[in-house]
Homo-oligomer: A and B are copies of this chain.
Amino acid sequence: MEALETTLRTRKKAATRLSLHEAALRLAMERGLDGVTVEDIADEVGVSRRTFSNYFANKEDAVLHADRERTRALVALVEGRPAEEPPWQALRAAASELYRARQIPDPEWVAQLRLLRRHPSLLARQASDQFALERDLAAVLITRGHGLDDELARLMAATFLAAVRTGGVLWLESSGGQPLPDLVDRLLGRFQPR
């Protein structure tokens, strides 16, 4: 996982993408998503509007870049869990790992959650991203065995992601009254897979 191909070109691309994402998030926080144009974001980073389009299809995508990556990471974590672990337990453990891997509450993450609440169009994109990964997650679960059929795998993946998302929402609504990881883990514990 460390053998990232890291040529100058690759690094520059990653940096630009990250900058665009950060600028998008920051500007959207300051002025609201509607108060920001694609051009504003591009200007902020010092690239052309056209270049922005080379990286992201629209501002929503730019804002949600980190969220997408997070979900991708989550799937990878599930993949990395010990094979003998039962599916639902592996999912719970992967979620815990995800939270443990970064400072909580990650300020950027919180900023994103807040934006999500105010802007339904963001929610829509986020969901779309998650759906795209539902398939992948289900595939990972099936590969892990444990006699999971396609149907149950899909259902678990959908349920799991819904629970994680709901955790975020609830946590934000409760103004962080309790640690996010605990909340999510409790939610995940409230299911009875069979």
Residues of A within 8 A of B (CB): 120-121, 123-125, 127-128, 130-132, 150-152, 154-156, 158-159, 161-163, 165-166, 169-170, 186-187, 190-194
Q: Are B132 and A128 in contact (CB under 8 A)?
A: no
**Contact (A154, B128) CB under 8 Å given A192-B191, A192-B192:** no
Contact A187 B127 (CB under 8 A): no
Residue ID in chain B nearest A186 by CB atoms: B151
Q: How far is the CB of A86 from chain B (nearest CB, A)?
A: 14
CB pair B124 A187 closer than 8 Å: no
Number of copies: 2
B152, B163, B166: which contacts A190 (Cβ < 8 A)? Answer: B152
Using A156-B191, A191-B191, A191-B192 as known contacts, list a sample of 19 further A-B pairs with CB atoms less than 8 Å apart, ordered by residue number in A. Answer: A120-B128, A120-B131, A123-B128, A124-B125, A124-B128, A127-B127, A127-B130, A151-B186, A152-B190, A154-B169, A155-B190, A158-B162, A159-B162, A159-B163, A159-B191, A161-B162, A162-B162, A190-B194, A191-B193
